Structure 1
Amino acid sequence: MANLDPDLLAALRRAARDARDDGVEFFVNSGWRSREYQEHLRREAVSKYGSEREAARWVATVDTSAHVAGHAVDIGPSGARAWLSEHGARYGLCQIYRNEPWHYELRPEAIDDGCPPLYADPTHDPRMQW
């Protein structure tokens, strides 16, 4: 979990411990990504989806990716995602995109206010505009 934001990492560790107490184990399938790897993923998405615009629904650019900044993780398996969907806000861990149920970011305000509404996909997130 190298290069993750320390607050995100601490929240993940607390959530993982409590999930384990509930019989749920979760894994970080993807955390921090290098700029090179993010660009590789973006190019693959363009090839798969046929355009930059469609690929942007699934993979951010190196300059907008929360993974490159160390501020996002992809969680698995599905049982862990279900647990985080129900309990994540108490740790500030929120799903951000409706089309990416595995993608979580730290939103400390969620501890008091709950997670913010989901964006349909990254193209609706103002941080992802390029």
Structure 2
Amino acid sequence: MKFFLLLAAGALVAGCTVPMTIQTVPEPSSDTEMAPPVPKKHTAHRKGLDPELRRAVQQATRAAAADGIQMKVTSGWRSKAHQRRLLDEAVARYGSLEEALRFVSTPDNSAHVTGDAVDIGPTEADVWLEQHGATWGLCRMFANEMWHFELATTPGGTCPEMLPDSSYRNR
């Protein structure tokens, strides 16, 4: 089962597959204006994402749209149970925990569980964000996951060197 997040008018909404468009989204004037009301079943996914990360992604998405790039958040905050399911599926797919950990972190080590990571799509948005993301502090973290971004530098700073894969994070 695929889980998608939608960034539209400043809201992250889980379970939606509607493409985001943000060309007419105004800059929010306060944290209380960050997002329009969303259905209650989606609130946990939005509130679980770090507010600074959410703002950085919103700003980057607007800039990408100005460059003609449509950016989607395909995954953001995840519960520990959901992360565990993803890891179990990866073990079944790759044949071992060691190999699965190259692609999926444990619930205790996942930046998605803490609300500190987003996965971005489509590919052209990943390429654009890797080139421009440091403007907002957004950095690609793993060489084998072009879609995974976290706040890893100050806005305008230099991103750290990518790790080969997520298994290197806690070595």
TM-score bucket of the superposed structures, by smaller chain: over 0.9
Counterpart pick for 1:30 among 75, 90, 97? 75
SS at match of 2:119: strand
Return the offset for 1:107: 1.6
Report the Cα distance in structure 2 between the residues aligned to 1:17 and 1:110, rounded to whole angstroms: 16
User: Considering only CA atoms, is the larger Rg found in Structure 1 or Structure 2?
Assistant: 2
Residue identity in the other structure for 2:130: S
Report the Cα distance in structure 1 between the residues aligned to 2:169 and 2:106, rounded to whole angstroms: 13
Report the Cα distance in structure 1 between the residues aligned to 2:79 and 2:167, rounded to whole angstroms: 21
Using the size of structure 2 for normalisation, the TM-score is 0.71
SS at match of 1:102: strand
1:105 and 2:137 are equivalent in the alignment: no
Using the size of structure 1 for normalisation, the TM-score is 0.93
Partner of 1:60 in structure 2? 105
8 Å Cα contact 1:14/1:91 also seen in 2: yes
Residue identity in the other structure for 2:152: R
Partner of 1:44 in structure 2? 89
| Higher relative contact order, chain-length normalized (CA < 8 Å, sep 6+) | 1
Partner of 1:91 in structure 2? 136
* RMSD after superposition: 1.0
Report the Cα distance in structure 2 between the residues aligned to 1:104 and 1:67, rounded to whole angstroms: 10
Residue identity in the other structure for 2:88: R
**CA shift digits 1:41-95 (9 cap, x unpaired):** 0000000011110000000000000000000000000110111011001110000
Report the Cα distance in structure 2 between the residues aligned to 1:61 and 1:102, rounded to whole angstroms: 18
Count residues with an aligned counterpart: 126
In terms of fraction of residues, the more strand-rich structure is 2
**CA shift digits 1:97-118 (9 cap, x unpaired):** 0000000001233622x11101
Report the Cα distance in structure 1 between the residues aligned to 2:59 and 2:153, rounded to whole angstroms: 14
In terms of fraction of residues, the more helix-rich structure is 1
Partner of 2:163 in structure 1? 119
8 Å Cα contact 1:110/1:116 also seen in 2: no
